[in-house]
Amino acid sequence: MIVQRVVLNSRPGKNGNPVAENFRVEEVNLSDNINEGQVQVRTLYLSVDPYMRCRMNEDTGTDYIRPWELSQVVDGGGVGIVEESKHINFTKGDFVTSFYWPWQTKVILDGSSLEKVDPQLVDGHLSYFLGAIGMPGLTSLIGIQEKGHITAGSNQTMVVSGAAGACGSLAGQIGHLMGCSRVVGICGTQEKCLFLTSELGFDAAVNYKKGNVAEQLREFCPAGVDVYFDNVGGDISDTVISQMNRNSHIILCGQISQYNKDVPYPPPLPPAVEAIQKERNITRERFLVLNYKDKFESGILQLSQWFKEGKLKIRETVTNGLENMGAAFQSMMTGGNIGKQIVCISEETSV
């Protein structure tokens, strides 16, 4: 059987901006036979995420993420449907997900690499397992639970950078749900600002491309900042940190402004900002959601419950077609998405 797949065509270089042409689509032959323990799946949705930028380098700079290989199939978060199974845990028609799903229309995988998902948790929106009811949702929820130190009723102010993205759009809402009295988002367009305040319940939003960010933050956070959910790093984070209160907390989710630069993770703060951090006893610890696997099951149930109760609003930017994976990745890395960037490969959910 002939299937389509996406391979890494070229590397952008450690300091380069990724482009759609770094990927290419090719056709390959998929075996008609599957072995004991394997399943054949049809891909429904694939995820593109900022962390993937480091996988485009020969060395990812981390020990827990491996690089993509040139001319080899690319992989990441995916959801699909089982078409044939020789694994005891899966039957035809099951919906499954994996963190290492090949960018391919159909694929044969070891059943041990897959996890069954229940469509009822997402009211049938299977792509949500790649976003709000998946890794980005868990990252936001567990990050806030473990590193945010939010106490309901204590009038805390939370600031979220990259606030209209996959994690940021959830983090602000979760901050409110867990007891922050004020949540302010930072993003890059007026449309995103409006989305945050009118749809997601943020108390205010700052467009960092317009006006003075420090002044706007002072206006919107008159009592200072107690919790900072940091998705971007760089100048924006330096500005936020300078307005943080004593004994406040930074949740270090991502540093997308630094991903096209050859710097360590997390990137060091400029000396003046580091001095503020130390003097005010602001915590800034690296947060890795994969270290909290024991909290995944309860976290998914909590996120699903909030979604079903209408307390957690979910927004996606959906691109159609495997051939557009590269374009979707390039767009996401430059802020073209609102909410989670998803690529729909197939919408046919019957076998």
* CA atoms of 205 and 216, how far apart (whole Å): 9
Amino acid identity of residue 154, one-letter, is: S
The pLDDT tens digits of the residues spanning 324-335 come to: 999 999 999 999
Let me know if residue 190 belongs to a domain: yes
Handedness of CA 118, 121, 126, 130 (dihedral sign): negative
Let me know if residue 64 belongs to a domain: yes
Let me know if residue 304 belongs to a domain: no
User: In angstroms, how far apart are the furthest CA atoms of the chain?
Assistant: 65
Mean pLDDT score of the chain, rounded to an integer?
96
Residues 241 and 219 in one domain: yes
pLDDT at 70 over 70: yes
Percent of the chain whose predicted confidence (pLDDT) is above 90: 90
User: Is 231:164 a contact under the CB 8 Å cutoff?
Assistant: no
User: Is 73:6 a contact under the CB 8 Å cutoff?
Assistant: yes
For 264, what's the count of Cα atoms within 13 Å in the CB-facing half-sphere? 4
- With a CB cutoff of 8 Å and minimum separation 6, the contacts of 297 are none
pTM listed for this prediction: 0.95
pLDDT at 146 over 90: yes
Residues 225 and 319 in one domain: no
Q: What is the mean pLDDT of residues 276-287?
A: 94
Nearest to 345 by CA among 324, 331, 329: 324
Domain count, the chain: 2
Let me know if residue 305 belongs to a domain: no
Residues 186 and 328 in one domain: no
User: Can you give the pLDDT at residue 257?
Assistant: 63
User: Can you give the pLDDT at residue 69?
Assistant: 98
Residues 155 and 280 in one domain: yes
The pLDDT tens digits of the residues spanning 233-250 come to: 999 999 999 999 999 999
What is the CATH classification number for the domain harbouring 266?
3.40.50.720
For 103, what's the count of Cα atoms within 13 Å in the CB-facing half-sphere? 28
Let me know if residue 307 belongs to a domain: no
32 DSSP 8-state letter: S
The pLDDT tens digits of the residues spanning 252-270 come to: 987 866 777 777 778 899 9
User: Can you give the pLDDT at residue 286?
Assistant: 82
Q: What is the mean pLDDT of residues 297-321?
A: 98
User: Can you give the pLDDT at residue 63?
Assistant: 83
Residues 104 and 31 in one domain: yes
Let me know if residue 76 belongs to a domain: yes
Domain hosting 13: range is 2-131+315-344
